[in-house]
Structure 1
Amino acid sequence: KDSMFEYELIENIVQEVEKRLPSRYNIFLSFSESTQYSFTNYLCDALDQEGFKTFRRDIICGENVPYQSSEAMAKSKLSIIIFCENYANSMSRLDELVTILDSMKKNNQLVWPIFYKVEPTNIRHQKMSYAEAMTEHEKNLKNDLNANEKVKKWKSALFEVANLKGWHLKFG
């Protein structure tokens, strides 16, 4: 049953991308490893089949070619953020989110969130696993002079992106 909902969601996303990006612009995917071999992979394949050049962390979909994430983010017309339960566990992924948000503001890049089996309010207000991740990052950065600024940027980026229009795939 979940896979049917996922399939329909992916189909809707691809249709929306085709409407909003008339040419086959680059798309950047930001995601957690927990969705890498399932939802993210299916979405990447679907976009690739429609002729979009889709980048995901360290590879170009369909080509298995390494690239620089920052370069791919800058060249992309659209970034799709696939939020899930453990998205905020990685500091580098949160840095990536801040970079994507900056690109949205400076370059008019489109940013679409997908809430994959996670409630947007948990991301927006850093509740549950998102609160735990922030607490853990604060502990790990206790000797970093810029820790407060980093965490503040991450929380702000999570709040802003979670308030954008996107898709929500709920549990079961």
Structure 2
Amino acid sequence: MTTPTASSSSWKYDVFLTFCGVDIRKKFTHHLYITLKQKGIITFRDDEKLERGKYISQELLKAIEGSKYAIIVILENYASSRWFLIELAKIVECMKETKLIVLPIFYHVDPSHVWKQMRALLEAFAKYQKDPKVNPKDVQEWKVALKEVGNISGWYVNDRYHLSFAK
């Protein structure tokens, strides 16, 4: 599969849905995923579309490249997973190169905490910077990607039924 260009209309997926957390997988993002499917929107979600036996990271990166939109559900603990930060960096790369449209949802986290990288996000990055197994260049790339996504207008979810526009 080749990376689609901005003028391409042959995307493999309409939406790449990414999130961090078991609890949110069973609740908010599950409902979002089902709603998108019911509307006929072809959505990639890691537990649904991965082919068994494939190297997971490559499969996910290809799914990002083959998507027109990326919905990123950001929680306070988003930076606690290196894998989600790698996904995020790839999403930002595709946003710049292939015009992937990024739609952030700030789930129980203030959008300003994301772009300022406060609280749990700050703690996660400090931990990575102290870890000799983590490349400092990668940490810097992740921080820049998270700040960039944090600056995109999106939606803020602060309780079970309240969704508001952020920024």
Which TM-score band applies after superposition, normalised by the shorter structure? 0.7 to 0.9
Secondary structure of residue in 2 paired with 1:79 = strand
Indicate conservation of the 8 Å contact 2:104/2:153, yes or no: yes
Q: 1:137 to 1:43 in 2, by over 3 A?
A: same
Indicate conservation of the 8 Å contact 1:113/1:165, yes or no: yes
In structure 2, the partner of 1:80 is: 71
- Post-superposition Cα deviations, 1:44-103, rounded to whole Å, max 9, x if no partner, equal 00000111111112423xxx8657111111110000000012111001110100000000
Aligned length: 145
Task: Choose from 80, 89, 95 the match for 2:80.
Answer: 89
In structure 1, the partner of 2:107 is: 116
Q: Which structure carries more helix by proportion?
A: 1
TM (norm. structure 1) is 0.77
CA distance in 2, matches of 1:159, 1:114: 14
TM (norm. structure 2) is 0.79
RMSD: 2.2
Secondary structure of residue in 1 paired with 2:105 = strand
1:164 is the counterpart of 2:155 = no
Q: 1:65 to 1:137 in 2, by over 3 A?
A: same
Structure 1 unaligned runs (5+)? 1-20
In structure 1, the partner of 2:25 is: 36
Indicate conservation of the 8 Å contact 2:115/2:151, yes or no: yes
CA distance in 2, matches of 1:24, 1:154: 26
CA distance in 2, matches of 1:127, 1:106: 28
Give identity over the alignment, percent.
35
2:140 maps to a residue whose letter is K
Secondary structure of residue in 2 paired with 1:108 = coil
CA distance in 1, matches of 2:133, 2:33: 38
CA distance in 2, matches of 1:116, 1:101: 19
In structure 2, the partner of 1:139 is: 130
Indicate conservation of the 8 Å contact 2:13/2:63, yes or no: no
In structure 1, the partner of 2:38 is: 49
After TM superposition, give the deviation of residue 35 of structure 1 in Å: 1.2
After TM superposition, give the deviation of residue 39 of structure 1 in Å: 0.5
After TM superposition, give the deviation of residue 136 of structure 1 in Å: 1.6
In structure 2, the partner of 1:130 is: 121
